[in-house]
Amino acid sequence: MQSKASNETIWKRLYEDAVLELQPTLFVEKAKAAEKAILERLQQVESGNDSNRRELMELSDAYRTITLLQREELKDAEIPSEQRFGQLALPAINPSKRRVVG
C-alpha cells in the first residue's frame, strides 16, 4: 500500500505534466492519466482516514481544470490547424493572392 504522501504526489505530478504539455496528442494522453489519478485519489481521500480539506480543495480544482482543458482541446481540434492560434480562430489566407479569405 502506498503512503498518503506518495498518493498525493502521484496525482499532482500527472496533473502538472498534463497542464504543461504543449503537444495536443500528448496532452490528451496525459490529461486522461491525470484525470484518472485525480478521481482515484479523491475516492481514497473521501473514503479514508487521511481526509485533508486542503487536498480535497486541490483535487477539486485540479479536476475542474483538467476537464476544462480537455474540452478546450476538443474545441481546438475542430478548428483546422492552419486557422488556429491559441484560442483564436484566424481567417484563412489564400497564399496565391495574399489576401484574407472569409
Phi-psi region of 58 (alpha: psi -120 to 50; beta: other; left: phi over 0): alpha
Residue with cell 483546422: 80
Smallest CA-to-CA distance from 21 within 88, 73, 89, 57 is with: 73
Contact status, residue 35 vs residue 67, Cβ threshold 8 Å: yes
The 10s digit of each residue's pLDDT in 20-35 is: 999 988 999 999 999 9
All structural domains of the chain with their residue ranges? 4-100
How confident is the model over 34-51, as a mean pLDDT? 86
For the segment 23-52, the average pLDDT, to the nearest whole number, is: 88
